[in-house]
Amino acid sequence: MDRLIIKELTFSAAHYISNHPKCSAIHGHTFFIRNLTIDCEQFVDFASVKKIISMWDHTFIVPEKDYEFWLNAFGTPKMGASWRLDLMTTQGDPTCENLSKTIRNQIRSIPGVTHVSLELYEGSNQGVIIE
């Protein structure tokens, strides 16, 4: 069994948390993934992990239940548009807890990965640890 450790990866994204007095407004963060630990039975390329994290960069993270709303509200930009909307989803609201579980599950889907633990921070100080 091998263990990969990545000290820190970052991505920036916007989200909202439904019915929260402050966080129901769309807002963004630089998210920090720290102490990402991956146990694996075979070789796992760091690039495959970084590719998963890069999919989250500069996205709008919405609850899975709201995906169709945002897709229908903004749709696909017309040819020549100067904007785009890249949507990512989480089960439930895109809290640190739910987002970290989603990312963990994506990394777990890499062949040979047996266990993933990580710390996910909204900004530099507020975060969760999942194992």
- Which domains are delineated in the chain? 2-130 (3.30.479.10)
Q: Is 105 exposed, middle or buried (0-12, 13-18, 19+ CB in 10 A)?
A: exposed
Higher pLDDT, residue 88 or 73 = 88
pLDDT tens per residue, range 74-86 = 877 777 888 888 9
- Mean pLDDT for 14-41 is 96
Which pLDDT does position 53 carry in this prediction? 98
Which pLDDT does position 6 carry in this prediction? 96
Which pLDDT does position 75 carry in this prediction? 73
Sort residue 92 into left (φ over 0), alpha (ψ -120 to 50) or beta.
Answer: left
* pTM of the predicted model as reported, rounded to 2 decimal places: 0.92
Per the document, the length of the chain is 131
3-state helix, strand, coil in the chain (%, to 5): 25, 40, 35
> Where residue 108 falls among pLDDT bands split at 50, 70, 90?
very high
